[in-house]
Structure 1
Amino acid sequence: MREGFPYAVPGMVVGLLGGSFDPAHGGHVHITREALRRFGLDRVWWLVSPGNPLKARGPAALPKRMVRARAVMQHPRVIVTDIEARLGLRYTAQTIRALRRHYPGVRFVWLMGADNLAQVHRWEDWRSILDTVPVGVLARPGDRIAARTSRAAKIYRQHKVPAPAAHRLGWMQAPAWAFVNVPMNAASSTAIRAGGGWD
């Protein structure tokens, strides 16, 4: 694997948590730890994106967000990476295709908060994401109903994995998705920026 790219070997189950992380905070840490436990993951990679195509305002500079994310997420099984920028990728569907090419035999699980499931149908080539890798959804404050009644949840309702089987998600054939309720953590990057805690 090229320098600066995360390490992984065939057979490893890696959860992918993408986002701007502008800034990273305790809520991100919380759902990452829950994902490791609930979905039977060997590792989680934080994919700190160059930017979010759905947001008009650009994020803070990538090096600054990387430094913050590495300071906030201290766990031996979590890697913070800027691999999307290194590969020149912008969309999640592109990222998943590229990672599967670069890491043959590694089993990837896309991770998202319930808020993202509620609007994933707005993402570029969104159905290829659910058709390519299993998806682990973690409930966050205020988003459970919107997520469960979302367009994606309705279209893929027959592929929903019962919560007790979610720990095997990484070994399931896509499409497969699991929705788990986790203890709430209401930390928000938007609130941190609005409060002046991220200059």
Structure 2
Amino acid sequence: MRGFPSARKGQVIGLLGGSFDPAHAGHVHITRSALKRFGLDHVWWLVSPANPLKTRGPAPLAERMVAARRLMQHPRVLVTDLEARLGTFYTAQTLSALQRRYPGVRFVWLMGADNLTQFHRWQDWRWIMDHVAVGVLARPGDRISARLSKTARIYRHARLPKQAAHSLGRRQAPAWSFVNLPMSDQSSSAIRARGEWQ
């Protein structure tokens, strides 16, 4: 599969999607934490061509990819442009395409708690919850609202206890885990506002 990363049947791969406009230390911290807390074999960053929930377009994909690869240095983490290669626009489309392309690989969708708060606004969000394990990493200020979110309430029966988070990737969906971490509160929008990303 030219241009696509390799993965073996039975591997557990975390997927961290976003515009990474720009990638920053918070993304790195979430990724390293997810590898440990959710028992992942690898994490793939999915640097998206665009974010359907944002009105302002991101910097060119090639620039964001270069910056992300420069920042994220880890032997078990791969920065990819898979959504551009697959031609998918929404997360559910991407996940469905990856499951077809990698039969037997177990994917875990990773996101910050801020995303869980508005996850019910995502295209086909119930399909995502029903077909892929989801690992939620708490960020400062988002813990309470995330736990009270529509998604958290509807899927409370599928939430793993804290001590079972490490087995998330081996669970049958729907399954999700919420872990509290001492998080970096750095954000891409704050970096852009300070003029640090050109």
TM-score range normalised by the length of the shorter chain? over 0.9
Q: CA deviation at 1:4?
A: 1.6
Deviations 1:154-188 (A, max 9, x none): 00011100011000000100000000011121111
- Partner in structure 2 of residue 135 of structure 1: 134
- Taking only the aligned residue pairs, the percentage that are identical comes to 71
| Superposition RMSD in Å | 0.5
Structure-1 residue corresponding to 2:122: 123
The separation in 2 between residues aligned to 1:86 and 1:96, in whole angstroms, is: 13
Mapping of 1:134-173 within 5 angstroms?
Answer: 134-173=133-172
* SS class of match (2:83): helix
**Which residue pairs with 2:8 in the alignment?**
9
Q: CA deviation at 1:7?
A: 1.3
Cα displacement string for residues 63-109 of structure 1 (whole angstroms, at most 9, x for unaligned residues): 00000000010000000000100111000000000000000000000
3-state SS of paired residue (2:44): strand
The answer on 1:96 being equivalent to 2:95 is yes
1:33 is aligned to: 32
Give unmatched runs, 5+ long, in structure 2.
none
Separation of aligned partners in 1, 2:94 and 2:53: 16
Identify the residue that residue 51 of structure 1 maps to in structure 2: 50
In the other structure, the counterpart of 2:113 is: 114
How far apart are residue 53 of structure 1 and its match?
Answer: 0.3
Name the TM-score, length of structure 2 as normaliser: 0.99
Count of aligned pairs = 198
For 1:13 and 1:87, locate their aligned partners in 2 and report how far apart those are by CA, in whole Å.
Answer: 20
- Please list every run of at least 4 consecutive aligned residues from structure 1 whose deviation after the TM superposition is greater than 3 angstroms: none
